[in-house]
Every structure is written in C-alpha cells, then in structure tokens.
Amino acid sequence: MRDPVLPATHGLPEDAGPAGAPAAGRRLEYDGACGPVAKIAISNTLLTLATLGVYRFWGKTRMRRYLWSRVSFLGDRAEYTGTGRELLLGFAAAIVVLALLGGALFGIEMATGIDHPFYWAAQGIYSLVVLFLVFVAEYRARRYRLIRTEWRSIRFAQDGSSLRYALLALGWAAVTVLSLGTTYVVYRTRLQRYRTTRTSFGDRRFEFEGRARDLLKTWLLAWLFLLPTLGLTYLWYRAREFRYFAEKSRCGALSFTSDLGTGSLIRIVFVFVLLTLLAVGLLLAAIAALAVTAFALNPELAGSIPWANASLPFDLGGSELAGYVIAIAVFFPVIAVLRMLFLVHPLFRSVLPSVRVIGEEDYGAIAQSAQSMPRQGEGLADALDVGAV
C-alpha cells in the first residue's frame, strides 16, 4: 500500500554521498503518532469489553494495519493484510488443543489426587508441553505476521518447522538454566539464525552470519552486573545484540546496520514500568478502599476475616464482590493501553528508524513468494499470550 504523499523512489536505493564515498544506505521510516495509537487502543479496549473479548481479534488487526502502514522504505509503505476472522479461527483451534491438555491433567488429578507421585509427574510433563507450545506459538506467530506483511505488493514469508524450532529453543533454554544464564547468548544466537535463514522477501532469502562468541564478552559483563543494576545491563546487551544481528544479516544484495542506542531503550522501559507500577498501586488502593468501605458498612465482619493470612473479603455480599471484579476487570485493559502507548509504539519509533538498508537491489525483479496464504491466524500465540503486537 503506497501513501500518495510520499514519492516513490524506485531508482534510488541508497543515499547519494560524496563522490567516491561509500553509500550510507537508506533508513526505515516510521511516522506513527501517539494520538491515533491511543484512539485505536482505547476504542479496541472498550469494544473488547463490550463484546466479552470477541472483538479483540479485529482490534488487533486494526492496530496492526495502522502500525504497519506507518512504516515505509524508499517512499513506499508496508501493508498488513491479515484479518480478524483468521485470528479468531486460529484462536478457537488453539483453545481446543489447550482444553484437551488441561482436561487430561484435571482427569489425572481427580483419579489420583494431588498428593500422588503420578500426578506430579503428569504436572511436570504438562508444564514442559506448555513451554514447548509457547515456542511453537512464537514461531508460527512470526510466520503469520510475515506472510501477511507486504511491501510494494511483495510478501515476506517464513518456512521451516515450528516443531524443530521449539525443540531447538527448549534444548538451549535448558542449557541456559543449567549454566545459570551464562550461555544465554548462545540460545539467542541459535534461534536468531534459525529464524533469519528461513525468512524471505519474495524470492530473496535472508542470510545470517552471526556467532555467539562475538557477543559472549558483552553478555557475560551484562550478566555479571544484572542484579546490581536492576536489569539495566540487560537492556544494554539487547541494544548491542540488535545492532550485531542487523550487521550480520543479509537479503540478496542488501545488508543492514543499526545505530540503536541503549538510552532510548532504557527510557522506554523505565516509563512503561513506572506507569505499570502506578496502575498496580491504584488497583491495590481501590481494593483496599472497597474493603474498608465494606467493613465500615458491616462492622461484624471485622472479626471474621483472618488478616494474618492477608485474606480478602470475597465472601461479602454481591455488591462488594462486584466492586472487586470491576476493579480487576478495568486493570488489565488499562495495562493493555499503557503497553501499546508507552512500550510498543515507542519501540517502533526508536528501533525501526535505527535500521539502515545498504546496497543496490532491483526490487522490480523480485518475484512473489510461493508460500501459500494461511487460513488461520496465530491462534496458539493468542491463547498463550505470546507475541509483541
């Protein structure tokens, strides 16, 4: 989808620098605004609440179409072509799978009791299966978003096996845990290689030449000071990792660089965490106010509540219980809006323009991707709450 305001520059793949100087490349652009993002996020939240969650699939599609349409390169905008119906169908199919797994575990609990060793063995297997499915969902969600993303009517795509990716991720996650996190950089690099080398734009496949050892010193330094800096060194590492991954990726004749700074990531995460904590504080204050009001109206309840166990008076009347439900029900939509406004949108604004595309490519000669279009969306990712947008 092209924006008529932005001129197409099909013949200018790179910035023209001084004679004899290397080309600086062309940056990705993102011109999304906070106002439209807020409008979409708030209306999506209200409609999702009004439809008891059904609208969330169309709301997610609406937000993606806006965000994608504000990303441009060489004057042409990206386009998201997914639909709410696809997301709904995928979610319904995933819920069936998860319900069968949960039902099986519940059946074992009913048959053996929670104190039986067989139940705990089943619980452990169930946890591993769910973790495995999280990685499967992550890969399939990325595949769906890519194939539903177009630029100049050419689709991105991702092949490869989500099951193999999940096994790879699960294996390296286990190694990372056993090594107390010191091999995290290997985990990240191996998964990045698997994803990137199976990604394509039209008939042009991406390549990745990164090696974990190039980032090992950076990660060990970040890992060493992770607790003393309250996680700030992790953001420093992720910024360095992003720049390195960009530099080690290619697509056809194109290469990439990034000048993403750590400061921008820290500011974004700090503001989002601060606002989230504020929202949590307001929620707790609202619950406390409801409890105080309930006891003021029903003094005889004060002696019946085991305050030493920090129990809440959920056994009160319907009006008090409704107050708790409303307070909690409002909390999660508020967090969703804050996440979009102060995390996702700022990350788009900071990360995408940091990327430069270097090299010359005959974009008109790129053939359409041969990968078939999906009939269902990233249902498993929705059900497990996996995915950035």
Q: What is the pLDDT of residues 5-33, one digit of tens each?
A: 333 434 444 444 444 334 468 999 999 99
Token pair, residue 14, equals: 């790179």
What is the structure's pLDDT at 24?
67
Distance CA 118, CA 360 (A): 61
- 68: amino acid identity, one letter: W
Both structure tokens of 184: 């995290």
Residue 190's alpha-carbon distances to 39, 181, 184, 187, in angstroms, are 39, 15, 10, 5
**The pLDDT value given to residue 12:** 42
Give the Cα separation of 172 and 181 in Å (integer): 11
Structure tokens that stand for 163 in this block: 């099951």
Q: What is the pLDDT of residue 330?
A: 72
The CA distance from 261 to 243, in Å, is 9
pLDDT of residue 294: 63
156 neighbors 149 (Cβ within 8 angstroms)? yes
Mean pLDDT, contiguous 10-residue spans, the chain (389 residues): 39 43 76 96 92 92 97 97 94 92 91 88 93 94 95 95 96 97 97 97 96 97 96 96 98 96 95 92 78 64 48 49 63 88 96 96 90 82 78
Please, what sign has the CA dihedral across residues 295, 296, 298, 301? positive
For residue 64, which of 141, 138, 159 has the smallest C-alpha distance? 141
CA distance 106 to 115: 14
* Residue from 88, 93, 77, 108 nearest 1 by CA: 77
Structure tokens given for 190: 């191996």
What's the confidence (pLDDT) of residue 319?
53
Residue 179 near residue 168, CB atoms below 8 Å: no
